[in-house]
Amino acid sequence: MLMVFDVMVWEARELFDPAWAAYARALIPLSMRTADCVLTISEHSRAALSAIVPGVPIRIVQPPAPQRLNRPASFSTERRTVLVLGETAPHKNHAAAIAAVAEARRLSGADLRLRLIGQPGRAEGSTIESLHAADPSGIWSTRESGLTDDQLADALASAWVLLQPSYHEGYGLPLIEAAQVGLPVVHSGREGMMDILPESSVGSTESEAFAAGLLTLLDEPAWKASSAYGLARSGLFTWGNFSAAVGRAVDETLAH
């Protein structure tokens, strides 16, 4: 049984070490052709893998996110925090998130805040530069890393919106984590994120689209509708469903 988590090594080869990328692009198709069962985690990945190795049956099994729930998110009319989770890698598109919050603040006059949480990556320097350019005094933005699980749970529960602006996202576990606490999400609609919260997509990686998405959630009924949508969707991504899907794949493979 072979599980392929994402196909970014084909779609953004420049993000990887050249030797490793060449190795993966050679090994994965070979492994797929010789495997008894191939699993992946999104419709996007299945379509891409089917194009790379036609004729190989591929099943989708969607893994759940860790359950961090300690209290549900709630609507606020005061300080509203836009949360961005993830390593500062080039494909995470943090600069667009920073520009989007700055633009939404300008257009609405609302006291929107930004928390960037995640490990420093290859785009850390450019991300810090973008933060300093948009908010030179650090009035409305923070950059944090090394949080504990409890601190991440608090960040999700105390935020107003999760923003996921990625160019590439094999799956998007932060979307499930947000949905579990009823935190509305705005995302770019790229790749695996559409399997999780399709109606939360703005269909773009541009800051203007993200700003527009944030502005719609200043309306309390819209925020609550997005919260309820996420909570309903989060019920799909459980360990029970994941285990059952893997079990069915094993049973079908053994039957043949």
Taking the C-alpha atoms of residue 194 and residue 100, their distance in angstroms, rounded to an integer, is 21
Strand runs labelled E in 26-147? 38-40, 58-60, 80-85, 112-117, 141-144
Where exactly are the structural domains of the chain? 2-64+238-255, 80-233
Regarding the domain delimited by 80-233, which CATH topology (the fold level of the hierarchy) does it fall under?
A: Rossmann fold (3.40.50)
CA distance 245 to 243: 5
Q: How far apart are CA 189 and CA 167, in angstroms?
A: 9
Task: Report the predicted TM-score, pTM, of the whole model to 2 decimal places.
Answer: 0.89
pLDDT tens-digit series, residues 71-82: 788 888 888 999
pLDDT in tens, 184-237: 999 999 989 999 999 999 999 999 999 999 999 999 999 999 999 999 999 899
Lowest-pLDDT range of 65-69, 141-145, 177-181, 205-209: 65-69
Pick from 37, 60, 64: which is nearest to 48 by CA?
60
Give residue-wise pLDDT tens across range 43-89.
999 999 999 999 999 999 988 877 765 678 888 888 899 999 999 99
Spatial contact of 170 and 45, defined as CB atoms under 8 Å apart: yes
What are the tens digits of pLDDT across the range 221-234? 999 999 999 999 99
pLDDT at 145: 95
Predicted confidence at residue 112, as pLDDT, reads 97
b/e code 211-236 from CB counts within 10 Å (16+ = b) = bbbbbebbeeeebeebbebbbebbee
Phi/psi for 41 (5° steps) reads: -115, 5
Cα–Cα distances (Å) from 50 to 32, 55, 82, 134, 222, in that order, read: 10, 7, 37, 42, 38
Give residue 254's pLDDT: 87
